[in-house]
Amino acid sequence: MAAEALTGADSLLARARAMEVEAAERYDEFAAWMEVHNNRDIAGLFRELSGIGRRHAETMATDLADDGSAVAVNTALAASGRDELETISGDALHYLMTPHHALQIALKNEERALAFFAGLAENAASDEVHHLAAKLADEKKRHVKLMSTWLTRLPEPSADWAYDPDDARMPD
């Protein structure tokens, strides 16, 4: 669903819900990957972020159902390559990443979603879409502030954070 097609509040809410579902799924993937590498702290953080996304998606689904709209969701948004989506590629992960790195990823996700909704609010064709997009942008602003606050509480990773003293090769 392209941004240009978001002419009604229901289509915008459906898009926002799809973004939340996809973000939750991606955070679950990240958590599983971190668990494989025994990075439990980051896995827990990604699980928490996934839960937040799922709760937002459930609320949006309820709102859509209350309006009599379908609540099916297309979770293949990232395949479109659009940069306003609330997810990133798994390529951004490193098995030794720190909580600081994980929160930077989450912050970038929230900033992209904020830019998307703020842009929709600014260019909305109707008052209804403007108000809903502005409300979603305000929510994303709160998330950006939360992620930024968390980041200030964490130490910056050391310059050698990715160093692994274990030789991954088999001995000859």
Query: Considering the domain boundaries, does residue 142 fall inside one?
Result: yes
Contacts of 134-139 spanning 24+ positions with Cβ under 8 A: 136/12, 136/16, 139/56
41 lies in a domain? yes
CATH number at residue 116: 1.20.1260.10
What CA–CA distances, in Å, run from 22 to 2, 27, 67, 74, 78? 16, 9, 23, 9, 8
The domain in which residue 50 lies consists of: 3-75+85-153
> Does residue 17 fall inside a structural domain?
yes
Q: Which residue has the tokens 């309006």?
A: 67
* Average pLDDT score over the chain: 78
| pLDDT tens by residue, 80-101 | 444 445 666 666 677 777 888 8
Q: Could you give the number of structural domains in the chain?
A: 1
pLDDT score, position 81: 46
Q: Do 14 and 69 form a contact (C-beta atoms < 8 A)?
A: yes
Q: Please give the model's pTM, rounded to 2 decimal places.
A: 0.74
What pLDDT digit, counting tens, does each position of 10-51 carry? 888 888 888 889 889 888 988 888 788 788 887 888 898 899
User: Counting beta carbons within 10 angstroms of the beta carbon of residue 75, is it exposed (0 to 12), middle (13 to 18) or buried (19 or more)?
Assistant: middle
- Tally the C-alpha atoms within 13 A of residue 8's C-alpha that lie toward its C-beta: 6
Confidence band of 161 (pLDDT split at 50, 70, 90): confident
Question: Does residue 159 lie in a domain region?
Answer: no
Assigned domain for 108 exists: yes
Is residue 113 in some structural domain? yes
